[in-house]
Amino acid sequence: MKFNVGSIDRVLRIVVGLVLVGLAATGTVGVWGWIGVVPLATGLFGFCPAYTLLGINTCPMKK
């Protein structure tokens, strides 16, 4: 499994995921807020299966 999520993308995914999970845990947005687990996990692991399918890579090129 290669990294395909860059640093800015990872930070945004983690923040959005934490906000959605937090809102779901407090009951503010309801059950749909638990979908925030997906961006949280992809941000923490640095790998997004959808990016692989679409051929997207936000990681900088390593020399």
Under the banding of pLDDT at 50, 70 and 90, the label for residue 3 is very high
pLDDT tens digits, residue range 10-54? 999 999 999 999 999 999 999 999 999 999 999 999 999 999 999
Interaxial angle between packed helices 7-26 and 37-45, expressed in degrees from 0 to 180 and rounded to the nearest 10:
150
Q: Please state, in angstroms and rounded to a whole number, the distance separating the CA atoms of residues 15 and 44.
A: 11
63: pLDDT strictly greater than 60? no
48 Cα distance to chain centroid: 8
Residue 9: the pLDDT is: 96
